[in-house]
Structure 1
Amino acid sequence: MANPILREKLNSGKFFVVPGIQDMITAVIANKVGFDIVYGTGYWLTASAWGLPDAGIATYTEMRNRMETLARTSNAAVIADGDTGYGGLLNVHHTVKGYEASGVTAIQIEDQEFPKKCGHTPFKRLISTEDMVEKIQVAVDSRTSEDFVVIARTDARESEGLDGVLRRLEAYSKAGADVLFPEALHSEEEMRKACAVLDKPCMANMSNHGKTPVPPAEVLAEIGYAYAIYPSLTSLAACAAMEKVLRDLKDNGVGQPDGLFDFSEFCSLIGFEDVWAFEKKWGKAG
C-alpha cells in the first residue's frame, strides 16, 4: 500500500531530502537516523546484489524482489527506480502493478530505449516523446491508489539539450506525471530554468561526481526543487570506508580499527532481539 506521506510532502511545498539505499544494511541505518522517505536506487541495488552495472541487465523480477525487500525492511516510504518500465506498454502496466503491490510508494520511469543506461554515463538512446507519453498514461492508469506517485524522467540533456528536456517534460506533465525528473543537467543555471518553466514538482538527482552540481540543500530549495535524491552518497561513503579498513588489514594487520559501528546495536537494528525472544520462549536446552 502506497504511503500518503510523499504526496503530503509534495503538497506542502517544503523541500526535503531523500537518501539512496543500496542494500538492507543501509536501510536499517536509515531507519535509525529517522528518514521518512528513501530512494530505491537501481544503480546501487543492482551493484550490491549482483556486482553488475546499471545497464538494463537486472530483470523486472529481480528488481521487484529488491524493491519489495526494501519496502519490508525500511520504515520509510520507498521511491523506486523503475528504469524504462522494463519494455513496452504492457510491461509498464505490469511493472506499476507489481511495484505497487510490493509496497513502494512511487515509481520513476525514464524515456530511454530498453535496455537503459545509467543517466550519468554515455551512449544513452531515447524513445520518442510520443512513446513516452503513452508510457506515462499507462502508468497513471495502472495504479490502484492515488497515493502512488508516478515520476517521469527524461535523459534528453545529452542528445537534445536543455530545450529538449523541457519540451519532453512538458509533454510528460500533460500525460499525467506527478513529478518531473530532468536528469543530468549540467549547471545551476539549467536547474533554475527547469524549475521555473515546468508546472509540476521537480526532483533533483544529486549523483556525487556525476554531471550535475551538488549544491547544499538550502540552495536546491531556493532553486525551486521539490526534493532531491542522493543515490550514491551512502554507497560511495561505504566504499571509501571499506577500502580503508581492508588496506589497513592487508598492509598492517589491523583487525580492530577505531570508528566501527557497534556490533550489539547492529544486532538490535537487524532484528536479533526478536530471534532471541523466540528462542527464550520456544528453544529447548540440550
Structure 2
Amino acid sequence: MMFIAEESKLDSGKYTTNSQSIQFGPWYISYDVSCILPSVCSTKVVCERDDDQFCQFCVYCKELNIPHFPDMVFPKNILNLSHASGACINFNPLDALKRVSSRVQAIEVSCAEAWQESRPDAEKKKQNFDWTFSTDYKGTLNDKIVVEPTDEKINFEVLKKKDQILFYQDLTLFEDELHDHGISKLSVKIRVMPSYWYVLLRYFLRVDDVLVRSHETRMFHMLDSNYVLREFTAKESRASDLNMPTTQMKEADDVVVFLPVKHIETEKLIINFET
C-alpha cells in the first residue's frame, strides 16, 4: 500500500510547517519544512518559568555547547523514516549541531596570515570552537536498529536506472556564509523509487582559498530487505591543491567529485524486531 499526504499546520511555537508523507511498504516516510530559527528568545515569559517549556531558540541554547549558531538554522526541517516495527531513522539540525566540536583548533581564513604580518604586535585571536560548524552527523537512530560493520556496498547501478520517482525532497538543515569567507551547509535529500529508498545527507564546507571538505552519508534500502546500508565518506582538500578557482566551487556538486577520500565506512542498520 502506498499513499502520499500533504499538510500545513501551525505548531505551539507559531511555526508554520509544511509536511508531506508517503506510506511505502512498512515504512512511513515524512518531512517537515519551516522557517529559520529566531536569533533571540521569542517567548521570554514562558521560557523563564520552571516548567520545561521553551521556545526553539532557548532549546538550542540549552542543548548546544557552542557560543553561537549558524546564520540559518531550520529547526523544524526534519526528515523521518519510521518502520512498522518501531525502528526510526531521523535527520534534524539539532542533533547535527551537537556533533560540532567546542574545542577544535579553528581554521584560519586566507587573509588572516597577511593581516597578522601587517600587525606584528597584535595578539592573535583564538577561536575556542569550530566556527565552520563541521559535523560528522550520520542521522539519528532509535534502539530498534542494530548497527553492524559490513563489506557490502551500495549498488549505484540500481540508482542510475530511470525508474519513476514516487517521492522526493531536498531539505536544508543549516547554512552559514562564514562571515563572507565561504559556505558551511548541511542538507539531506530523500528519493523513493518503486523498489527502494535512498537518502543523501551532505555536510559541505568551503573556506575560500583555504579548504574544501565534504562529509556524506548515504543510506540505501531495498523494499524487501530487513536492513539499510549506510555509507559515510569524508573528503577534504586544501584549496591550493584543487587547481580550481573559487568561482567554480560555489556548489557542492561542482567540487566534491574532485576531493580525495580521507575516510570511508559502511554499516548495516538492521531492523531489530525483538526489542
TM bin, normalised by shorter chain, reads: under 0.3
**1 or 2 for the larger relative contact order (CA 8 Å, sep ≥6)?**
1
Return the structure number with greater strand share.
2
In the superposition, the TM-score normalised over structure 1's length comes to: 0.25
